[in-house]
Amino acid sequence: MLRSTSAIVGRHVRAVTIGPANQTSIRAFRISKANMPPSAAHGAASANGESVPDVGVVPVPKVEGTWTVDKALNTFSATKPAEGTTSPVPYFHILERLKTTKREGWKRFGINRGESIADHMYRMSLMTMLCPPALAKKLDLSRCMKMCLVHDMAESLVGDITPVEGVPKPEKSRREAETMDYITGRLLGGVNGGDVGAQIREIWQEYEDSETLESVFVHDIDKMELLLQMIEYEKRGEGKLDLGEFAYVKLKIALPEVKEWAEELVQQREEFWGGRQHSRGDVRSDGGVGTDFKKKQESFYEGHGQGQKK
């Protein structure tokens, strides 16, 4: 005898036809489902009846004393990448950390499941494709896209260091340079003759030095992407979330073409807030940010995108 019923497949309910041949397997499915803990029954971590860690969470390495790459790597367990091989696969694995590491600035406002570092860099790379034509003629846009995709690569180990953490800028730069040497040397040095690793290191350094027009443009895009995310979170927060301290970065945008984009965003934000009190990123007046925090921002962004333009 055949009869119809429904089975849960993932989150979807699908009609199935049941006959004598598959009654046993369906019954076994129901029993095993009933014996699962509630979290596992809804797709949470469980394997053969044993709980497993939340594999979607990859914490930033916590290092005691002077930060080094090797100390950070020693916090890894089974995920420590192999070094000195001719395969790019270990490098592919380290890139996962850019997907799982969150941008830290939002967490202070309770946004714990916000954008990742990879999210940020990906949108930046797509934004460069819409560079205004007059500026695009002066740029190597292919190089700009690559720069967007590698400029925060060191944060795979270092994490996203923000102005409020109090890490001096020279120390932040040291950690990031050491990490890039590790990635492009110890992981990629033997891959395809080391050429790709050398190119990544060169493009990353160009961004850090901020002396070419390409690097100035990408620094501006970095700030523009932050402003976009700020406004998007505020709108999603329905006016209960004032992220205006991040609006400060609009003052650090160098190129007129990107400034024009930023002004459009600022106008959108003012329309969203209307007459309600909100911060605009200036020193504490009319809802501005505190003087101490402003000084930290000034130090953090000093030289970002302000270099000599070729």
Looking at the structure, do residues 119 and 254 belong to the same domain, yes or no? yes
CATH code for the domain of 136: 1.10.3210.10
Looking at the structure, do residues 125 and 274 belong to the same domain, yes or no? yes
Q: Is 17 helix (H, G, I), strand (E, B) or coil?
A: strand
In a domain, 189, yes or no: yes
pTM for the structure as a whole: 0.78
Indicate the number of domains in the chain: 2
- Asked if residue 216 lies in contact with residue 230, where contact means CB atoms within 8 angstroms, the answer is no
In a domain, 198, yes or no: yes
Q: Report the C-alpha gap between 278 and 227 in whole angstroms.
A: 15
The encoded tokens of residue 284 equal 């504490």
Backbone angles phi, psi at 47, to 5 degrees: -140, 115
Looking at the structure, do residues 153 and 226 belong to the same domain, yes or no? yes
Q: Report the C-alpha gap between 291 and 295 in whole angstroms.
A: 6
Looking at the structure, do residues 35 and 73 belong to the same domain, yes or no? no
In a domain, 58, yes or no: no
In a domain, 56, yes or no: no
Looking at the structure, do residues 96 and 225 belong to the same domain, yes or no? yes
Q: What's the Cα-to-Cα distance from 216 to each of 70, 131, 180, 210, 303, rounded to whole Å?
A: 32, 13, 20, 6, 10
For position 28, what pLDDT does the model report? 44
Q: Look up the domain containing 154 and give its range.
A: 69-300
For position 111, what pLDDT does the model report? 94
In a domain, 310, yes or no: no
Q: Report the C-alpha gap between 146 and 148 in whole angstroms.
A: 5
For position 202, what pLDDT does the model report? 99
For position 79, what pLDDT does the model report? 78
Hey, what amino acid is at 79? T
Looking at the structure, do residues 102 and 23 belong to the same domain, yes or no? no
For position 249, what pLDDT does the model report? 94
Looking at the structure, do residues 215 and 277 belong to the same domain, yes or no? yes
Q: Is 100 helix (H, G, I), strand (E, B) or coil?
A: helix
CA-nearest of 168, 154, 93 to 121 is 154
Looking at the structure, do residues 105 and 169 belong to the same domain, yes or no? yes
- Asked if residue 262 lies in contact with residue 250, where contact means CB atoms within 8 angstroms, the answer is yes
For position 204, what pLDDT does the model report? 99
Residue segments in the chain with a per-residue pLDDT below the cut of 50: 4-18, 24-44, 283-289, 297, 308-310
Looking at the structure, do residues 149 and 292 belong to the same domain, yes or no? yes
For position 34, what pLDDT does the model report? 46
In a domain, 35, yes or no: yes
Looking at the structure, do residues 10 and 147 belong to the same domain, yes or no? no
For position 66, what pLDDT does the model report? 96
